[in-house]
Amino acid sequence: MGGRFRLGGSPVNHSLELHITERGPFAEGHRFEDSGAYERLVGRARFAVDPLSPAYAEVVDLDRAPRNAQGLVEYGADLCILKPTGAGNRRLFFGYGNRGNKRELQFFNDAPASNDPRTLRDAGNAFLLRRGYAIVWAAWEGDLLPGDGRMLLDVPVARDGDAPITGLVRTEFIADRVGTTTFPLSGWASTRSYPAVSLDTSRARLTRRRYPGDAREPIASDAWAFARTEGGVGLDAQGAETALIESDTHIHVFDAFEPGWIYELVYTARDPRPYGIGHAVVRDLVSFLRYDDADRRGGENPLAGGVDKAYAWGRSQTGRCIRDFVHRGYNADAQGRRVFDGIMPHVSGGGLMWMNHRFARVVNPAGQQYEDHENCADRFPFAYGASTDHLSGRRDAILKRPATDPLVLHTQSATEYWQRRGSLVHTDTEGRDLEPPDTVRIYLWASSQHFADPNAIRPARGNCQHYGNVVQTSMLLRAMLDALDAWATHGTAPPASRIPRREDGTLVEFEAWTSQFPRVPGAMVPSGVNALPLYDFGPEFEKGLLTREPPEVADARSYAVLVPAVDADGNDVAGVRAPMVAAPLGTLTGWNLRPRSFGHGAMHEYTGSYLPFPDTDSEAAMTGDPRASVLARYGDAEGYVRAVEAAARRLVEQRLMLEEDIERVVARARDWGRPLHDVRL
């Protein structure tokens, strides 16, 4: 199965060929309500493009990649499609795989996480399938390595003629356990490392610091090596053995990394790849699947003639990717047609991608208070509508091409306000409220955390001081997709944005928040938000070159980063309150804190907290807890169920939750929602 297509009337015949290697029934041919049976297609999309054509000219280093006999650059992406065998709803739903992982069935269908969905169990509650969506996944991230079923994008190495391209790379390493001696230079086992030009450690710089704002302490060049360890069984009954092997893609510290410390390596690397091509992969593939004519192409497009609307969803890294995709103009294909009618960036905060730069580290999380603090993913523009950066003087917006810009439903948790500068999505850079454009809705999912596992069983601490946040929000995602489809199809406006605002006191500075948050016995609170200065990555940053590592602070002032105001329980006042927040059994926050010896007191990654209420009035009195007890609030377990059901029905009335989810929510609330809630009555 293959197809060739012409882009924008270019005299060069760019090509996209689909090679389907596996095709068969999904879920053993089960017929889903309202849509029927599905089939599953797996294969590769192969591209060959002219790097100098307008459709690709902005991709950094694509013009330096090797070309075939026709002068085209070739690359290929893994592809997976679940499509109705019948008409379905004529909607394409593109899932931006997060670091190569398929997340859509997990978060919309409450299905188990799987990179190889095949069975009825993998369909979960089948929401997307019952609606009749053609679900498309394709690899867009080029720095991933094979393993665990990740979707891979093969991108060639860029070169300067016959010579390698070299440049500075900075990587951060934080060990979470004692005895860790070795990391890949990328910092991630799943991710390709840029090879070091030299194994001479005196030509690189390794430092460490306790907290991000501390001075960097140099580590002597003879205390570490570009090397990796291997282990195995020794000869002559000597037991287990290890060996240290030189490696231009690994770092080894002889006395081990001290857990919790921030180690930073700046070294000269070689062989960058034009990872910015990932945006073009998505644009070209979705355009092909959407617009390619079955009659003209002989049925080579598996969705030919069957797509009226196309939507995209991505969470966290891929939410940032969607925002960057639109900001850079990729939602117009090479013929000027709209690619996605609607987008749903979820928990992206105010970030964009670090992707179209030489030696980009696509896999890296955006900057947090402790981890990857100086990552360049958070940069102006933050908001969808036009605003002015008071630090740089620039004026820009995510949406600035009305003819092809999509409708936007932007959803974020409380974590994004604390760790991901989420307030800047709907304020200017000085913290004043911005009214989102008419084509945008923004929703805070109050008191929820960045990763809300729809199938979580019980609370856990991990490497944090408090229980992790237990709020489940997948029912809100389902309602959001229905609302987006109604908006794009019938012009039915979705519910109004539900966000905290400065003007009504529900969006506040950190100092105001500290005066509101209750004194929960034994609970430590953050020392501040994840502040954001204007970083200077060098004079050629806008051209895609980072020449200053680490970056310098270009302005002593910071962007205004604000957080949601809280009620007497410490729960967010504004936003959409999921049933577990509207009828809470504890204080639920978007932040959690690192324990002693692991960055004590700093916020931990994207983790929220669950601080259980006292069970009884006597417990509250004994501990000095100012929050009302569980029994004082609900009386008994059935009283709690009634409160949850009432909250769910209010959300349904507001079109923020679907009727079908009431039963699921109520079922989870039985017996105090245990074991997910720590209620001991």
Asked if residues 45 and 67 have their Cβ atoms less than 8 Å apart, the reply is: no
Which has the closest alpha carbon to 78: 146, 150, 154, 139?
139
With tokens 């769910």, the residue in question is 648
Give me the pLDDT at residue 97, please: 87
Helix (H) or strand (E) holding 267: strand 262-270
Over the stretch 194-216, which tens digit does the pLDDT of each residue have?
Answer: 999 999 999 999 999 999 999 99
3-state secondary structure of 279: helix
Give me the pLDDT at residue 235, please: 62
- CA dihedral over 323, 327, 330, 331, signed as positive or negative: positive
* 2, pLDDT greater than 80: no
> pLDDT-based confidence at 624, cuts 50/70/90?
very high
Distance CA 548, CA 545 (A): 9
Over the stretch 115-170, which tens digit does the pLDDT of each residue have?
Answer: 999 999 999 999 999 999 999 999 999 999 999 999 999 999 999 999 999 999 99
> pLDDT-based confidence at 365, cuts 50/70/90?
confident
Q: What is the mean pLDDT of residues 374-380?
A: 89
Give me the pLDDT at residue 597, please: 87
Q: Compute how many other C-beta atoms are within 10 angstroms of the C-beta atom of residue 478.
A: 21
Distance CA 332, CA 328 (A): 10
Distance CA 30, CA 211 (A): 53
Q: What is the mean pLDDT of residues 286-302?
A: 77
Give me the pLDDT at residue 300, please: 83
* 39, pLDDT greater than 60: yes
Give me the pLDDT at residue 1, please: 44
Quote the crossing angle between the two packed helices 637-653 and 660-669, to the nearest 10°: 160
Q: What is the mean pLDDT of residues 222-244?
A: 83
Residue 538 CA: distances (Å) to CA of 374, 376, 546: 14, 12, 6
- Tokens representing 657 are 């939750």
Give me the pLDDT at residue 234, please: 65
Q: What is the mean pLDDT of residues 497-513?
A: 98
| Terminal-to-terminal C-alpha distance of the chain | 61
* 546, pLDDT greater than 90: no
Distance CA 388, CA 432 (A): 12
Over the stretch 20-34, which tens digit does the pLDDT of each residue have?
Answer: 999 999 999 999 999
Over the stretch 53-95, which tens digit does the pLDDT of each residue have?
Answer: 999 999 999 999 999 999 999 999 999 999 999 999 999 999 9
Distance CA 647, CA 636 (A): 17
Give me the pLDDT at residue 646, please: 98
Report residue 445: phi and psi, to 5°: -90, 95
The percent of residues above 90 in pLDDT, for the chain, comes to 91
Domain boundaries, given as residue ranges, for the chain: 1-157+274-307, 166-270, 347-357+368-538+569-681
Asked if residues 641 and 667 have their Cβ atoms less than 8 Å apart, the reply is: no
Report residue 414: phi and psi, to 5°: -65, -30
Report residue 584: phi and psi, to 5°: -80, 155
pTM to 2 decimal places: 0.96
Distance CA 475, CA 448 (A): 13
Distance CA 281, CA 16 (A): 10
Q: Compute how many other C-beta atoms are within 10 angstroms of the C-beta atom of residue 222.
A: 9
* 563, pLDDT greater than 60: yes
Q: What is the mean pLDDT of residues 558-577?
A: 98
What's the mean per-residue pLDDT of the chain?
94
Asked if residues 170 and 550 have their Cβ atoms less than 8 Å apart, the reply is: yes
Asked if residues 253 and 181 have their Cβ atoms less than 8 Å apart, the reply is: yes
- Residues with Cβ < 8 Å from 121, sequence gap 6 or more? 111, 112
Give the chain's largest Cα–Cα span.
81
What is the 8-class DSSP label of residue 317?
H
* 6, pLDDT greater than 80: no
Q: What is the mean pLDDT of residues 538-548?
A: 91
> pLDDT-based confidence at 352, cuts 50/70/90?
very high
Distance CA 45, CA 482 (A): 29
> pLDDT-based confidence at 13, cuts 50/70/90?
low
Cis bond before residue 595 (omega within 30° of 0): no
- Tokens representing 511 are 């100092």
Which has the closest alpha carbon to 505: 570, 435, 559, 574?
574
Choice between 290 and 234, residue whose per-residue pLDDT is larger: 290
Distance CA 417, CA 248 (A): 39
The percent of residues above 70 in pLDDT, for the chain, comes to 96
What is the 8-class DSSP label of residue 523?
-
Q: Compute how many other C-beta atoms are within 10 angstroms of the C-beta atom of residue 203.
A: 12
> pLDDT-based confidence at 220, cuts 50/70/90?
very high
> pLDDT-based confidence at 653, cuts 50/70/90?
very high
